[in-house]
Amino acid sequence: MFPTSSNTQPHKPTLRALILTGLLCLVALPISANDELGFVLNSFSFLIWGVLVMWMCAGFTMLESGTVRTKNASVICLKNLGLFSIACITYYIIGYDLMYTEVWHFIGKPFTTGFGHGPSAAEVTMISDAVNKDIVNTNAVISEQDYSTMSDWFFQMVFVATTASIVSGALAERVRLWSFFAFIFILVAFIYPVVGAMTWGGGLLTELGFVDFAGSTIVHSTGGWAALAGVLIVGPRIGKFRKNGTVHPTPPSNVPLVTLGVLILWLGWMGFNGGSVLQMDGPVAATVMSDVIANTVMAGAAGVLVIMALSKVILGRMSLLAVLNGAIAGLVAITAAPNFHDMIWLAIVIGAVGGFLCLVSMRLFDAIKIDDVVSAIPAHLVAGIWGTMAACFTNADAEIWIQFFGILVVGAFTFAVSWVAWYLIDLTLGLRISAETEELGQDVTELGMETYPEFVQVIDHEMYAEELEERA
């Protein structure tokens, strides 16, 4: 027989008693246990948000490989996989310690405490005790740090890879593969860590009060300045700008792929900005993180809508690619200071202005014959500068002159060092692919393959007509 309702009633008080007892036990936990939970949650936050930021590499790959012509798509895939791997190893060996130790020592810890960055001494002891089945004492770890060392390293490393990815798209279809990788090494081993040391590492700009929550300048503008220097040295693609002043259209090879890439980037930005709260150990941190993510989403949406409304006026047509860049520009703009809780509508304004400036810059760059294949410089550099200045509206600690000075310092350093690096690479390895390679595509000439072998590639003879005439 099934039990009657009267038979089941005595179990309810027992269940309530168990729940009440459990709650009392949680309240009665010692402080050290609460600290352990905070350590675990903070470390997990770095890892899970870092994975989302790493996923942005897939977004950049899809965006760039869909934007370039099919004859260069495979090289783009290789570049993005290679630059992430270079960023990972280089930031482990040199970059992290250069960024978070005394920058004037140049190489930081690797030559004094070992090769590369690793777990703290307290963590090593704790793991050793656990392996040897000794009594594990976590007090030494949680008294020195709020999260595991390598979770922090991983989260910081994926930011470096994001900076490097910005350069890849801007110079696509005309830069030699190994020359590009040589510059990426310089960027992630020296340029980015020095910028980071001046800011997040507690250097000059930190002491002045420079505000950049998740990297509008430190990550995005740094990548934009490095890309701008490279674009100016390598020059535009053959035939991109005609002698009569018009621009030869180079439509993307795969529009759905570009759209997918932007949506992946948008998703990854939740980790980019949300994880930059750097805590997930209590109600305050959880609330701040929620506000940051909400502001980030709205800024990206505002960037999309403003370009949808204005692209026909400024570009003469409704441009899907411009709209997609509007999302990125809005996200970049809010990244400098998304951690505000009042006047949430400001996120919409900041994202909308970022999208508008990106759109105007795209038109301007065509007018002055700067060939940026994926419009990375308008979306990351221009919107990053705006976002850094807009921090003055959402962060009471941000002062206009300090924000402007920080932009100048980072811009001057990054552009100057990048210019020298690109120039030296051009002198030694050679920067530009040959005209024949550019016409046939890097996939066939450098990789010996085609991205879509079932399709017959048709060369755009009109684009290369002027170059061929000059040779004749």
Question: CB-side exposure of 204: number of CA atoms within 13 Å?
Answer: 12
| Amino acid 451: pLDDT | 86
Query: Which residue shows structure tokens 């704790």?
Result: 126
CA 144 to chain CA centroid, Å, is 29
| Amino acid 470: pLDDT | 64
- Give pLDDT tens digits for 201-223: 888 899 999 999 999 999 999 99
DSSP codes of every residue in 211-245: --SS-IIIIIIHHHHHHHHHHHHH-PPTTSB-TTS
Instruction: Write down how long the chain is.
Output: 472
- Give pLDDT tens digits for 260-271: 999 999 999 999
> Tokens representing 343?
């006047």
Task: Give the relative orientation of helices 283-315 and 345-367 as an angle to the nearest 10 degrees.
Answer: 40
Q: Cα-flanking dihedrals φ and ψ of residue 24, to 5°?
A: -65, -35
Residue 18 has pLDDT above 60, yes or no: no
| Ranges of H-type helices in 316-381 | 320-334, 345-367, 376
- Give pLDDT tens digits for 80-139: 999 999 999 999 998 898 888 755 544 444 444 445 677 877 777 788 777 776 666 677
**Helices H, strands E: what count in the chain?**
23, 0
Please choose, from the candidates 180, 176, 119, the residue with its C-alpha nearest in 3D space to the C-alpha of residue 151. Answer: 119
Domain that holds residue 366: 31-463
Residue 225 has pLDDT above 70, yes or no: yes
Q: Which amino acid is at 271?
A: G
Q: Does residue 17 sit within a domain?
A: no
Question: CB-side exposure of 284: number of CA atoms within 13 Å?
Answer: 3
> Under DSSP, is residue 451 helix (H, G, I), strand (E, B) or coil?
coil
Buried b (16+ CB within 10 A) or exposed e, 126-149: beeeeeeeeeeebeebbeebbbbb
> Tokens representing 315?
């570009």
> Tokens representing 223?
């990548």
Burial (CB < 10 A; 0-12, 13-18, 19+), residue 367, is exposed
> Tokens representing 9?
């009633």
Q: Does residue 20 sit within a domain?
A: no
Contact partners, residue 306, CB within 8 Å, separation at least 6: 326, 351, 352, 353, 355, 356, 359
Residue 368 has pLDDT above 90, yes or no: yes
DSSP codes of every residue in 13-34: HHHHHHHHHHHHHHHT--HHHH
d(CA 35, CA 42): 10
Q: Does residue 24 sit within a domain?
A: no
> Residue 135 maps to which CATH number?
1.10.3430.10
> Which pTM was predicted?
0.87
Say if CB 352 and CB 302 are below 8 A apart.
yes
- Give pLDDT tens digits for 27-71: 434 434 467 888 889 999 999 999 999 999 999 999 999 999 999
Number of domains in the chain: 1
| Amino acid 135: pLDDT | 65
Mean pLDDT, rounded, for 146-159: 92
> Under DSSP, is residue 247 helix (H, G, I), strand (E, B) or coil?
strand
| Amino acid 59: pLDDT | 97
Give 24's pLDDT tier (boundaries 50, 70, 90): very low
| Amino acid 136: pLDDT | 66
d(CA 354, CA 321): 16
Query: Which residue shows structure tokens 């940026």?
Result: 372
Q: Does residue 471 sit within a domain?
A: no
Q: Which amino acid is at 226?
A: A
Q: Does residue 359 sit within a domain?
A: yes
Say if CB 217 and CB 410 are below 8 A apart.
yes
